[in-house]
Each structure stands twice: as C-alpha cells, then as structure tokens.
Amino acid sequence: MEVCKMCGRQVEKLVRCHIYPNAITKAVLAEEHSISTMSIADGPRTSSGHAGFLDPNIVCARCEALFGRADEYAVHFRKKVLILEPPYQALSSEIFLFRARSDLLHTFAMQTVLRASLSQRPENRLIDATEFHNEIISHLINGESTIKMGTEVCIWVTRGEFKSYSAAPAIASFSEKDVWRISPPGMHLFVAMSSEGLPKALSHSKLTPAEDVIVRRRRNPDREEMQAIEELLIPNMESVAKISKSALKRAGSMMPHDWLAYGTLKNK
C-alpha cells in the first residue's frame, strides 16, 4: 500500500502526477518540435524534453482529479494570450488586460507550487511550501479558489525564442525579495513566498479576485525578465542553443533560435 501525500489515505497505487500540465508540453512540442528543460537544483542541467516534469509518488487518483479544472483552464488561457483572443485590451505593446478567470489561474499557480513542494524528485527540491500545504489542500478539497488565501501571483507568457523554454520550479531573486518561479513551457508564474507579497517589478500585474487579468506577453527578453531567470539560463545557454538548433534542423527550418540574446542585452 502507498500513502497519498495530499489526503493521507492508503491506496493500492499512486498515480503519475505532472508537476506542469502535460497538455501545455504537448502544445509547445507540436509548435516548436522540442522543449529545453532546465534545472539548477543540483547544478545547472539542461535536456531536450518531450514530457512535462512528473512524479509518480505524490497523489492518489482522487486527489489528482482535483487539479484538473485549474490545469485545463491554464492550458486554455495560455492559448488565449498567445493568439490575443478577445476580449482583451492592449495596455501597452507588451502588457494586456484579459477578461478571464483569475480564480482558476491563481489556483493553477498554487497547486503547481504544492505539487513541486510535495515532490521528492531532486529537480523540485528548491520549492518548500510546507507552511502553505494544508491551506492549499483545504481549498482544493472544498472546490474553492486559492485566491482567497491572499498569496500574490502574477503571470508572464512568453513567445518567440522563449516559447520552448521550460524549467524546474525554483526561486527567483529580486532586489527586495525572493519569489517562487514556476516555468512550464512558454510561461512564468511568480508566486509570493510570504504575506509580504511580490516585489515591485511584479506587483503591478498581480492576480486579483476581479475578472480582469493583467498578463505580460513577451517576445524577446529584457533586463527585468532576464534578472528573474538568469541563474538558470546563463549556465545552460550553450546546451540550450545546441538543443534548439538540433530541433530546428529536424523540423527542416532555418530560423535561428537566438538563446544568446541575454549577452547582447547585458552589454547595452
């Protein structure tokens, strides 16, 4: 018998639990032919990914089903942002306001933090949300949104060169404070690690209970974005470039994936 880490029940067998929804991974693979997956938990590592991060030792089938609604909505929302499906309002060339389910997006972020925190796989060990476990689980079991917790969350959706980038959950350091960074393919979700909230660079686009969702939609990285992921990206750039070029060659495309863009930006 095995024990579910969410409900504590003994079950005959736990199920394979994707830390990031597999539907997002499949969508990006269909578009980009390969995904560069990165981790710094045990030193910088990069691989060509064809499946999302998963762990077969976290939850039972009944608890896994609790993740479905928010995961499915996040997959739908990513597509909505990429194609700028209405209704939306362009607040700037990079920041957009969508009419969307902020409650489900918040739950998606928090349940992803929960899955990573419950996992004992080495690539997820940087996430320790133990103090939030009971509250997140309670909301999920009761069918409630985690947005009621008050934890601040914001979303960036990436396209262009960074569309096929994925990374294990980790900590992103800003000048004022650290945050959890959740990076499924083509997305970054930044989650506050305490009641102090998100840093100023992110707080303006935090999710609120209202139906208006602000999303930063980036094509090319800028200083602010690179500061949030440079710890992962810089040690892995050479490996990522090789993976991207190999994938493009197999796809018969001559379009370059300039993963060295950060070097140019840093020297400006």
Please, what are the averages of pLDDT over each run of 10 residues along the chain (268 residues)?
95 94 76 58 54 84 96 93 92 93 97 95 90 96 96 88 75 86 87 94 91 85 53 56 48 34 31
Residue that has been written with the tokens 């060509």 in this structure: 48
| Ranges of each domain in the chain | 2-266
Other C-beta atoms closer than 10 Å to the C-beta of 110 total 27
User: From CA 117, how far away is CA 133, in angstroms rounded?
Assistant: 8
Q: Where are the alpha helices (DSSP H) in 52-123?
A: 61-66, 68-82, 102-118
Give the contacts of 253 (CB within 8 A, at least 6 positions apart): none
Q: What is the dihedral of CA 231, 237, 238, 240, to 10 degrees?
A: 120
Taking the model in full, what pTM does it have? 0.82
Q: What is the pLDDT of residues 115-139, one digit of tens each?
A: 999 998 888 888 999 999 999 999 9
Asked if omega into 21 is within 30° of 0 (cis), the reply is no
User: From CA 123, how far away is CA 121, in angstroms rounded?
Assistant: 6
Residue 215, strand partner residues? 96, 155
User: Token pair for residue 175?
Assistant: 């000048």
Backbone angles phi, psi at 123, to 5 degrees: -70, -15
User: Token pair for residue 144?
Assistant: 């409630």
User: From CA 196, how far away is CA 252, in angstroms rounded?
Assistant: 49
Other C-beta atoms closer than 10 Å to the C-beta of 29 total 17
Backbone angles phi, psi at 153, to 5 degrees: -140, 140
